[in-house]
Amino acid sequence: MSETLLSVQDFSVVYDVDPPVEAVKNVSLDLHRGEILGLAGESGCGKTTLAYGIQRLLKPPAVITSGSVLFNDASGEAIDVNSLDAEEMRRFRWDKISMVFQGAMNALNPVVQIGRQLEDVFEVHRPEMNRRQRLAEVKELLELVKVGEQRIRSYPHELSGGMRQRVMIAMALALRPQLMVMDEPTTALDVLVQREILRQISQLRRQFGFSVIFITHDLPLLLEISDRIAIMKDGEIVELATAERIWNDPRDEYTRTLLSSFPRLTGEKGVLVR
């Protein structure tokens, strides 16, 4: 099995507005199987556009102007993401890649029990499963993300923000994807809850072997959770290295500027959750 899960080559995205915005410029990167890759950079540098673009989730006026995305499936098949038709792409997105959006916890349906919402994922994407199998999976998922199966009949408003975000992570985990893309998944939560959830994500990816692309402008947080970090500036990746290297020996001028803009990095480094 290839050690590279996802290979992005020369990827560019332009927002076709007046004047056009070159949001992502000739980005190339390899994502290793099982790694957490942090994508850092200040607001507007193109993180979200890149992450959405490689899953072809962008809508007009966004135009992908160059690049290829190759997904080395666990089955051994190499999937050229650009060649998938709409239906294949829909399936690919659920089966191989899942996404946790910023503020996703507010995307839960307020009038449907969380267990039911998780069950729906299996009903739609695993129609061969019967009710008993679905319920067993849902309970296991709720245990895995430490919500607890006893909450299966809870409504979203009965849970804290952190718990709701864990439910969203359970949903993203449901079909056992090989890649999870997380866009500021914990930004709205308080620091302790955030840390607990990060610890959990790190542990789950060890258990299941999926890779994570973790997007945030919070570089200190990325230093704690990521194996490698890509620093983006104005649509380009200016530096990509292990978290240790970025922290101890940043080579790019902009990386140094970014590091120095976080006062909490100038003191003691937090406990690594990896």
Ligand X SMILES: Nc1ncnc2c1ncn2[C@@H]1O[C@H](COP(=O)(O)OP(=O)(O)OP(=O)(O)O)[C@@H](O)[C@H]1O
Specify the residue, 164 or 217, whose C-beta has the smaller distance to ligand X.
217
Whether the Cβ atoms of residue 134 and residue 122 lie closer than 8 Å to each other: yes
CA–CA dist 186, 161 (Å, integer): 10
Which helix (H) or strand (E) is 124 found in, with range? helix 114-125
Of 203, 261, 273, nearest in space to 231 by CA = 261
| Count of residues in contact with ligand X, rule CB under 6 A | 14
Specify the residue, 31 or 152, whose C-beta has the smaller distance to ligand X.
31
- The binder of ligand X chosen from 40, 45, 169, 222 (CB under 6 A): 45
Whether the Cβ atoms of residue 37 and residue 213 lie closer than 8 Å to each other: yes
Specify the residue, 58 or 118, whose C-beta has the smaller distance to ligand X.
58
Considering only residues 56 through 115, tell me which ones interact with ligand X, judged by CB under 6 A: 61
Under rule CB under 6 A, residue 48 binds ligand X: yes
CA–CA dist 113, 263 (Å, integer): 42
Under rule CB under 6 A, residue 148 binds ligand X: no
Specify the residue, 17 or 124, whose C-beta has the smaller distance to ligand X.
17
Considering only residues 18 through 37, tell me which ones interact with ligand X, judged by CB under 6 A: 21, 23
Under rule CB under 6 A, residue 44 binds ligand X: yes
Instruction: Report in angstroms how near the CB of residue 213 gets to ligand X at its nearest.
Output: 12
Strand partners, 213: 37, 181
CA–CA dist 38, 3 (Å, integer): 18
Give the interface with ligand X as residue ranges (CB under 6 A). 15, 17, 21, 23, 41, 43-49, 61, 217
